[in-house]
A = this chain, B = another copy of it.
Amino acid sequence: MASNHLPPPSGLESHRFPVEPWRLVETEYHSDDLGHTETLFGVGNGYLGMRANPEEGRDAHSHGTFINGFHETWEIQHAENAFGFAKVGQTIVNVPDAKLIKLYVDDEPLLLADADLEHYERSIDFRTGYLTRDLLWRTPGGKRIHVRSTRMVSMAERHLAVMTFEVTLLDEAAPVVISSQLLNRQDGEDEYHVVGAALGEGNPEHDPRKASEFEQRVLRPTTREDSTDDEGSGDVILGYTCVNSGMTLACGYHHHVDTASHFAATTELGDDLAKTVFEIAGEPNVPITITKYVAYHTSTGVPCEELADRCTRTLRRAVRTGVDELRNEQVGTLDRFWASADIEITGDDTAQQAMRWNLFQLAQASIKTQEQGIAAKGVTAGGYDGHYFWDTEVYVVPFLAYTDPIAARKLLRFRWHMLDAARRRARELNQEGGLFPWRTINGEEASAYYAAGTAQYHINADVVFALARYLDATGDVEFLADEGAEILTETARLWNDLGFYATNNSGSFHIHRVTGPDEYTTVVNDNLYTNVMARFNLRYAARTVRFLAEWNPEAFASLQRRTGLRLGELDDWDAAADAMFIPYDERSEIHPQDTAFLDLEPWDWKGTGLDKYPLLLHFHPLVIYRHQVLKQADVVLAMYLRSPYFTAEQKRRNFDFYDPITTGDSSLSACVQGIVAAQVGRDELAHDYFERALYLDICDVHGNTSDGVHIANCGGVWAAIVHGFAGMIEDGLALSFAPRLPTQWSGVRFRVHRHGSTMQVELTPDGAQLSHVEGIGVPVKDGEVEIVVEAGVTHHVARAPSE
């Protein structure tokens, strides 16, 4: 039985993690799931991410601080090489750790694993973005100490993190030592040692989802600066250069101490460690508060010295602003986020909390990416080497397009920046146009296993899907003119050249030897998902570029200069789209995943114990590829993304065929199954799948949340509400809805931004109430009725039928 077919999880153990609407709270320290909780309580802003390691360091699954796109490169060693195989490995670097603030009382260290804790609470607050820990520690000498700390990564200043550490002796005086550090662990004992191979303690050697590990020094120390005085005030900066990629990094801290007790500080700097040690004559009930401002700056070319200057400026500005005002900025940023993005669920507090946790992860992944992508794990850990996949385009951009269009635009500009590399890669693969890399940080293909990598040509259409979704949601024709049209041109050219017209006089256009999103069936002919999405890409490119030529001849002329585009190419694209072969089996009335899929052998479900999932860790790829078994359902995904192109009956039949043979071994599976289950009126199943997706990280369903948050799934959770239960569909002109509130809930409320206007959608048991919030209004189609939900207008959509 595949994990997909087990009962869904139903939330965290509520004694340890009490249910609250706006916080995730932990009331007991456990050392047996550190990897999981380090991820759940992590803080980040899309640029900088810090895992929820305790201030004391020591016991951890992994001490992690990550900066989006900051990576080392290495030569991929193929055991058996071939022409065009990916050459440049790219791995996100675990940067120096500024989280460390070690406490000693009477020279006894605070160590959570051993400490006698009379009180423990750790929480992450979704409205403030603060990770807070509150301890009452009884030292080995019997003294009671109150330790309260906070940590935030600024959502207003992307290079900044701020920590506070407050110690109060409750019983009697004692010498207190606080050692605040900045530690480069790259070569440390508890760190990475093997290049390339995906190894992880206690995990199978062949788990491709793990991060690569380095066997030698990655960060070469280049710069050290220290302007601290004997109270520890001043800036400490360390600078590093990545040995191969040449990327540069500077990071530093600045402390502010607030206490009535007497104290003195000393600072030491080495290649891999800077520390400022505060020695305090602690007195009872006199709080000692240390504020640690931390800055990180990175670059692909700027010298470390200049980055060090930038750190200093960031730190000094932060110190001037002060913790209170920084907190206000943080709360203000998140207020705006929640005003746009919140989803309120009534009737299920556990789900409400989990919903907000997922949305909060999307904020932490997207809010300050600037023009980097969003990695599979955001900035929460190094899983999948910190690579960007299609996840962002298909699972995250749709969320951003309707909640934070500026963030969506930045992600699309990031892809546009990659076009030159995509054009080079296409040439290398003997094709015209551009081919985006399946996985990458720097724009170069980094997938060392082409069958489940390079062969996923669908990435091109996924990018165009995101572009279209953004343009539909915003009407940003300027972006179309400048960046969008170039993306459309090069992707459409790739498809037109990759496919071919069958020689059997059928006139149909085929795309062969590609892999769809389902990595349990690879290198096939006429993958349905790929062909449906390529058809869309070709048609959309032709139509949109024609529009550009008429609307803005100057922009079109510029496009022609940049790409050499001829108008005749647009006709070729339309012709290929019109002739596109879409596999359909008349007998079973379903869309086969590819031409040969229905000929494969059924999987032996009964003979496959639960310990054999995910299959990829227990069966040779050839065994998996030989059978009708899916990691995630290609056809179902195509039905979600290109919903209007399938009849309701086709959707039902396809869903019923593919759902039972889908393992859900992919974390991208549950949300999509849920969306389509909802759209075809399988209410109970839709709710089951929603819970699988909702609790996927919170309950560690895939057993690897320690490797980071599955960001795409968080976007999928949003989509499961908006496109699933609300049944929202975008046709480029208007939105439509097919509401089906789960019977478990009494209501759901969310907002949608479209073309600068905002509308509220409230799901009720009998349908949905659409109401105006802001702007000139949002056009909506309800069956034959076309209305604009503008000021003063409220519209009720009837509940869609269920099975």
**What is the interface of chain A, defined by CB distance below 8 A to chain B?**
76-86, 89, 196-198, 204-206, 208, 428-430, 447-451, 453-455, 500, 502-504, 510, 512-514, 523, 525, 595-596, 599-602, 616-623, 625-626
Contacts and interface: CB of A to CB of B under 8 A. Distances in A.
3 cross-chain pairs, A with B, having the tightest CB-CB distances, nearest first: A84-B620, A79-B448, A80-B449
Contacts of A500: 601
Contacts of A616: 82-83
Contacts of A620: 82-85, 428-430, 450, 454
12 contacts: A78-B206, A79-B79, A82-B449, A82-B621, A83-B617, A85-B206, A430-B620, A450-B621, A454-B622, A504-B599, A512-B599, A595-B599
A77 B450 contact: no
A505 to B, nearest CB: 11
A503 B627 CA distance: 12
A616 to B, nearest CB: 7
Interface majority SS (helix, strand, loop, mixed), chain A? loop
B447 A510 contact: no
Given A79-B448, A513-B625, A620-B84, A602 B503 contact: yes
Contacts of A599: 502, 504, 510, 512, 525, 595
A424 to B, nearest CB: 13
A197 B77 contact: yes
Given A512-B626, A525-B596, A626-B512, A80 B621 contact: no
Contact of A512 (B80, B504, B600): B600
Nearest to A431: B623
A618 to B, nearest CB: 6
Given A450-B621, A450-B622, A513-B622, 16 more contacts: A79-B196, A80-B448, A81-B197, A81-B205, A82-B621, A83-B619, A83-B621, A84-B619, A430-B619, A430-B620, A454-B622, A455-B622, A512-B601, A513-B626, A525-B596, A525-B599
Contacts of A85: 206, 620
Contacts of A455: 622
A86 B621 CA distance: 12
A481 B198 CA distance: 47
Given A428-B620, A525-B599, A208 B80 contact: yes
A608 to B, nearest CB: 10
Contact of A429 (B79, B81, B208, B622): B622
Contacts of A600: 512, 525
B429 A623 contact: yes
A82 B626 CA distance: 16
Nearest to A595: B596
A455 B623 CA distance: 10
A197 B602 CA distance: 38
Contact of A208 (B81, B196, B619, B623): B81
Nearest to A198: B81
A504 B208 CA distance: 36
Contacts of A512: 599-601, 626
Contacts of A204: 83
Contacts of A450: 620-622
A90 to B, nearest CB: 12
Contact of A623 (B430, B510, B625): B430
A196 B453 CA distance: 22
Nearest to A617: B83
Contact of A77 (B77, B601, B617): B77
Nearest to A500: B601
A432 to B, nearest CB: 13
Contact of A625 (B83, B523, B625): B523
Contacts of A197: 77-78, 81
Contacts of A205: 81
A502 B621 CA distance: 21
A582 to B, nearest CB: 15
Given A79-B76, A430-B619, A512-B626, A451 B451 contact: yes
A525 B596 CA distance: 8
Most chain B CB inside 10 Å of its own CB: which residue of A503, A596, A600, A622: A622
Nearest to A524: B596
Most chain B CB inside 10 Å of its own CB: which residue of A197, A428, A455, A626: A626
Contacts of A77: 77, 79, 196-197
A82 B451 CA distance: 12
Given A596-B596, A599-B502, A601-B512, A208 B82 contact: yes
Nearest to A581: B599
Nearest to A621: B82
A730 to B, nearest CB: 33
Contacts of A504: 599
A11 to B, nearest CB: 32
A475 to B, nearest CB: 38
A81 to B, nearest CB: 4
Contacts of A76: 79
A514 B621 CA distance: 12
A551 to B, nearest CB: 37
A83 B612 CA distance: 12
Contacts of A86: 79
A124 B512 CA distance: 51
Contacts of A454: 620, 622
Contacts of A513: 622, 625-626
A202 to B, nearest CB: 16
A622 B524 CA distance: 11
A619 B431 CA distance: 11
A565 to B, nearest CB: 22
A453 B596 CA distance: 22
A293 to B, nearest CB: 41
Contacts of A448: 78-80
Most chain B CB inside 10 Å of its own CB: which residue of A89, A500, A504, A601: A601
A246 to B, nearest CB: 22
Most chain B CB inside 10 Å of its own CB: which residue of A428, A430, A513, A621: A513
A237 to B, nearest CB: 37
A449 B78 CA distance: 9
Contacts of A449: 79-80, 82
A618 B84 CA distance: 8
Nearest to A194: B77
Contacts of A428: 620
Contacts of A80: 198, 208, 447-449, 453
A208 B620 CA distance: 22
Contacts of A510: 599, 601
A223 B690 CA distance: 69
Contacts of A83: 204, 206, 616-621
Nearest to A195: B77
A206 B89 CA distance: 17
A500 B502 CA distance: 30
A503 B600 CA distance: 9
Most chain B CB inside 10 Å of its own CB: which residue of A208, A455, A623: A623
